[in-house]
Structure 1
Amino acid sequence: MKIFTLIFIILFFISCSEPVEEITPRRAKLVESVYSSAVVQPDSLYKAYANVIGILENNLVEENDQVGAGTPIIRLINIAPELNVKNAKLNVEKARDNLSGPSAILKSLEKEIKAAKLRLRNDSVNFLRQKRLWEQNIGSKLNYENQKLAYELSSNNLQLLKEEYERTRNELSIQVTQALNNYRSSAYSSEEFTIHSKINGTIYALYKQPGEIVNTIEPLALIGSTNNFVIELMVDEMDIVKLEIGQKTLLTLDAYGSQVFEATVKKIFPAKNEGSQTFKIEAVFIKNPPKLFPGLGGEANIIIAEKQDALIIPKEFLIDENNVLTEDGPVEIVTGLQDLEHVEIISGIDENETLYKPE
């Protein structure tokens, strides 16, 4: 083994026409992180669409305007729906008038019922008088039967009128309900011609101008939070298992040059983007930059581990990821944390060992 090592060292130094670069491991703080591209977007950012096809009549807001939830932002031409609403409202008023108005159908039936009650009372009195006379063998049987028949007919007529009254009242109530439903449906359809903001936020973009045709596929506006922004990070699938909620993130934005901002991982989306083979991560600023705009790009490093007093060497001194070249030849080592340039040495060598850079 010693002969092999000696031969290796001799061949190594003979093969080098220039002096070999050498170092000794040193102790320093080492931070291991996951790299990601970054895009800043307003929180709750969404695109507003129309629910109907029409023509844009007017943009009720301008870009960069702040709006509240429910604020009308775009109006479409809606002549036909407005007429439908008016007609439906008239039908509601008519149905209510039929049910309980001064000229209601039920008023007429109530009068008929009142007259039928009086007629029944009169026929009842006549029938009872004739019945007492007949029981005393006074009068003819024909008169008795005629009075009895008149009483029964009045009683049946009153009952029929009461049933008709209840039936008519139920039908009119149903007509009022149906008219109200039609009115609400027409009013809702009319509302669909006005697009409202779903959140408190800022209008970041308006995509259509008055007179343009609107459909249900193309967005009309871009709306998002005014002050709350999130950082969208795209992480390679090889690194996704290293990430956790709450991990510290260091971010640079192209608009701010080399200035570094701190953020925290807020959300990890579980679905992979098959096109880019990446996973989406959301982070939030610990302290917002002075000014933020949708779409600001940059780079981020999500810190997954750090060590204050790590024994480190440059990665370029590694051989096959777990060996280094010493005066005694290749030595196997165990590595730990690593960043883009350095790797931690767990065991195999110490800080007094001289290492040579491999060709």
Structure 2
Amino acid sequence: MQNLKISILFLLCLSCNQEREKIFPQRTKLTSSVYASATIQPDSLYQVFAVVAGILDDNLVEEGDLVEKGDAILQINNRAPKLNAENAYLSLQQSKENVQGNAAILKDIEDEIYATRLRFKNDSINFSRQKRLWEQNIGSKAEFDARKLAYELSENQLKQQNAKYVRTKYDLETKMAQAKNSYSSSKIITDDYTVNSKIKGRVYALFKEPGELVNTLEPLGTIGSATNFKIVMLIDEVDIIKIKIDQLTLITLDAYPKEVFTAKVSKIYPQKDERSQTFTIEARFTESPAILYPGLAGEGNIVIAEKEDALTIPIEYLIEGDKVETEEGLVNVEVGFQNLERVEIVSGITENTLLLKPKE
């Protein structure tokens, strides 16, 4: 009876062992990678802000439109600044006319200087002639004094008019420079009421409608590259030290469920997000999908190591991180690289070791 029980138990154990899956280790190429969540974002994406507060007059573009650098995209009500700019422009034109035009103030002074110079020349000649006569005792003292006085008066008047010309020219040029500065300042203020694109790209979002109040603190829209996209990935802090620039990255997107795209790590942000305990990195496609939109989600696997001809087993056959089960019982092994599916066995078993799948 006792022998019968032993035989039944043996048969049951043998039956259990026969039902469990068995495999031999395999030599394969093993790729070790770091997993990351991935989100697609346009390159150079930025939020649009106004530098002045006011009422939105018009959205000059629509969401999805392509824009060039400097294109106007939003117009804020600028009637008062525009009138000020027009008045400043008129003042500038008047100042230019006073300095450079046909009816310029300086032209009148130049004409006066010309007439005074002729009179001075004539008085100088008469005085010189009368002086020579007086030296020859010809003529009267009163006539000599009159010629001398006329000469001195015209000389003094010419000096005064030359000084007046210099002073007037300086004043007019100063006023023209002030008018130019005033016009430039008012034009800058007017330009501030028009929001322009900082880059060549696409308008991805507009947040305000005409008639709404805008301020300098709320974004009015977002603009980014229309052709260049980046992959933003979140890396767990325990894995960030494994990441390096130019590492191969395999990207899968929910929008392309049956395709795998290649990319390379392009940027590592050094600041950790304390809330999620993750680091942010960026990658660039080397093989990009035909169509991309901001916010497309997926997964990334950053390849940190590759090994040819590695002795590997499915990761579910590994017990407690360093053991496998054989027909003779548990065996300690040394593991190497691993990924989500397979793990490298450095020592402890060979290709000929039959492994049992651990019981669930």
**Structure 2 length normalisation: TM-score?**
0.85
Q: 1:101 corresponds to which residue?
A: 101
Shift of 1:328: 8.0
Q: Does 1:41 find its partner at 2:52?
A: no
Q: Distance in 2 between matches of 1:248 and 1:178?
A: 60
Shift of 1:52: 0.7
Seen in structure 2, the aligned counterparts of structure 1 residues 275 and 152 have a Cα distance that, compared at 3 Å, is farther
Unaligned runs of 5+ in 2: 1-12
Q: 1:305 corresponds to which residue?
A: 305
Helix, strand or coil at the partner of 1:270 = coil
Q: Distance in 1 between matches of 2:223 and 2:87?
A: 35
**Cα-to-partner distance string for 1:92-150 (whole Å, 9 max, x where unaligned):** 11101111222211122112101211221122122112211221233444543443333
Q: 1:193 corresponds to which residue?
A: 193
Query: Do 1:317 and 1:358's aligned partners in 2 also have CA atoms closer than 8 Å?
Result: no
**1:1-359 pair list within 5 angstroms:** 24-316=24-316, 318=318, 321-322=321-322, 333-353=333-353, 357=358
Q: 1:7 corresponds to which residue?
A: none
Helix, strand or coil at the partner of 2:271 = strand
Give the paired residue count.
345
Percentage identity across paired residues of the two chains: 53
RMSD of the TM alignment (CA)? 2.8
Unaligned runs of 5+ in 1: 1-12
Q: Distance in 2 between matches of 1:155 and 1:18?
A: 131
Q: Distance in 2 between matches of 1:307 and 1:27?
A: 10
Q: What amino acid is aligned across from residue 212 of structure 1 in structure 2?
A: E
Shift of 1:348: 4.2
Q: Distance in 2 between matches of 1:236 and 1:164?
A: 80
Q: Distance in 1 between matches of 2:34 and 2:145?
A: 108
Query: Do 1:325 and 1:358's aligned partners in 2 also have CA atoms closer than 8 Å?
Result: no
Shift of 1:354: 5.1
Q: What amino acid is aligned across from residue 67 of structure 2 in structure 1?
A: V
Shift of 1:322: 4.7
Q: What amino acid is aligned across from residue 195 of structure 2 in structure 1?
A: I
**Cα-to-partner distance string for 1:323-343 (whole Å, 9 max, x where unaligned):** 556688876644321112432
Q: What amino acid is aligned across from residue 125 of structure 2 in structure 1?
A: V
Query: Do 1:261 and 1:289's aligned partners in 2 also have CA atoms closer than 8 Å?
Result: yes
Q: What amino acid is aligned across from residue 90 of structure 1 in structure 2?
A: L
Helix, strand or coil at the partner of 1:181 = helix
Query: Do 1:206 and 1:221's aligned partners in 2 also have CA atoms closer than 8 Å?
Result: yes
Seen in structure 2, the aligned counterparts of structure 1 residues 246 and 17 have a Cα distance that, compared at 3 Å, is closer
Shift of 1:70: 2.2
Q: Distance in 2 between matches of 1:152 and 1:274?
A: 90
**Cα-to-partner distance string for 1:284-337 (whole Å, 9 max, x where unaligned):** 223332432111111111111122311123445556645556688876644321
Helix, strand or coil at the partner of 1:259 = strand
Seen in structure 2, the aligned counterparts of structure 1 residues 257 and 19 have a Cα distance that, compared at 3 Å, is closer
Q: What amino acid is aligned across from residue 91 of structure 2 in structure 1?
A: N
Shift of 1:196: 1.8
